């Protein structure tokens, strides 16, 4: 499945036990887009009230970019993620490079988002997540990432036409939840909270499509992983094996390094801050004020 255990501090016997477990739960993983799941737990609704449709022309692209877009559109249409459209709505398409060098088709939904009613459902407070980890005294961790998580959630039928986008070869709309919508993260987080239910805040934490599993020892960790996999399979959701780390003493999660000794900011996240040049303009100075590491912040944020 392409799972890397080099960061797992395990004996040969423990590695065998872990690999056996992962093999038993092969159904919880998708090796590529052809194996994506699609949960029936809920659907995303785009509520724009009685607003008139927004319609934008496609951005100009180079011939090479058109070829790359064609490849993505063919794959997405074949897997049922998008379909051809005759919608009065239309947003422009972009080809965006991810940190790993891969490219992904995204749609510029800024005008649609301005018309969309924002959910009261919010993402978990990062301080609460980190405080929970600090209290659990766990020693073994796994981090799991969904395989194109948003694309594993259906759109409400009446909302599909609002996701329409224009390309050089015609108009399409999404069947699955696209990236870039105003409420996409909140909807997905709400669905994931429902999926892991009784595991949440006890042996697992979820922040949108990033899942952390934590346990006091390796044996308990295998049980917690099995419980998570059972729930993902039941919900027809799939993980990306190459983005998962299992049974580690140290993991990266939400920009932090998590270990049994405590929680620290990921050095990769602070490198750019340390290399900042001294600001010479007021605007640059104000921007730099947003970056801070506060010692003992978990104590200062506790309600008095």
Alpha carbon distance 151, 132 (integer Å): 29
Residues 272-283 pLDDT 10s = 556 666 666 776
Residue 215 near residue 209, CB atoms below 8 Å: no
Residue in 155, 260, 268, 258 with CA at minimum distance from that of residue 211: 258
pLDDT score of 300? 46
159-196 pLDDT, tens digit each: 999 999 999 999 999 999 999 999 999 999 999 999 99
- Residue 271 is predicted with a pLDDT of 60
CB 140 within 8 A of CB 131: no
Which stretches of the chain score pLDDT less than 50?
A: 299-301, 303-304
Q: How high is the pLDDT of residue 299?
A: 47
What is the CATH class of 12-294?
alpha beta
Q: What is the pLDDT of residue 288?
A: 62
Domain boundaries, the chain: 12-294
For residue 211, which of 269, 144, 157, 146 has the smallest C-alpha distance? 144
DSSP state of 176: B
Q: What is the pLDDT of residue 141?
A: 93
What integer pLDDT is reported at residue 9 of this predicted model? 81
Q: Quick check: helix, strand or coil at residue 272?
A: helix
Tokens representing 161 are 């036409």
CA nearest to 245, candidates 165, 140, 148, 167: 140
Q: What is the reported pTM?
A: 0.83
């Amino acid at each position: 499945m392409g799972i890397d255990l080099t960061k797992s501090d395990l004996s040969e016997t423990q590695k065998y036990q872990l690999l056996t477990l992962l093999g038993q739960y092969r159904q919880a993983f998708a090796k590529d887009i052809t194996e994506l799941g699609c949960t029936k737990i809920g659907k995303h609704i785009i509520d724009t009230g009685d607003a008139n449709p927004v319609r934008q022309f496609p951005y100009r692209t180079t011939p090479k970019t058109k070829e790359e877009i064609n490849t993505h559109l063919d794959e997405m249409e074949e897997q049922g993620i998008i379909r051809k459209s005759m919608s009065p709505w239309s947003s422009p398409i972009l080809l965006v490079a991810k940190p790993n060098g891969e490219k992904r088709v995204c749609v510029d939904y800024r005008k649609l988002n301005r018309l969309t009613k924002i959910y009261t459902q919010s993402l978990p407070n990062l301080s609460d997540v980190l405080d929970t980890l600090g209290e659990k005294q766990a020693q073994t961790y796994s981090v799991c990432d969904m395989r194109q998580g948003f694309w594993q959630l259906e759109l409400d039928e009446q909302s599909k036409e609002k996701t329409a986008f224009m390309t050089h070869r015609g108009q399409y709309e999404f069947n699955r939840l696209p990236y870039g919508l105003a409420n996409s993260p909140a909807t997905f987080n709400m669905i994931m909270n429902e999926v892991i239910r009784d595991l949440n805040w006890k042996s697992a934490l979820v922040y949108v499509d990033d899942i952390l599993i934590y346990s006091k020892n390796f044996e308990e960790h295998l049980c917690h992983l099995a419980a998570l996999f059972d729930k993902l399979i039941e919900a027809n959701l799939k993980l990306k094996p190459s983005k998962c780390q299992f049974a580690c003493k140290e993991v990266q999660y939400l920009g932090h390094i998590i270990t049994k000794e405590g929680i620290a900011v990921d050095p990769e996240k602070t490198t750019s801050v340390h290399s900042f040049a001294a600001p010479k303009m007021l605007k640059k100075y104000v921007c730099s004020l947003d970056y801070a590491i506060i010692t003992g912040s978990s104590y200062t944020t506790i309600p008095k």
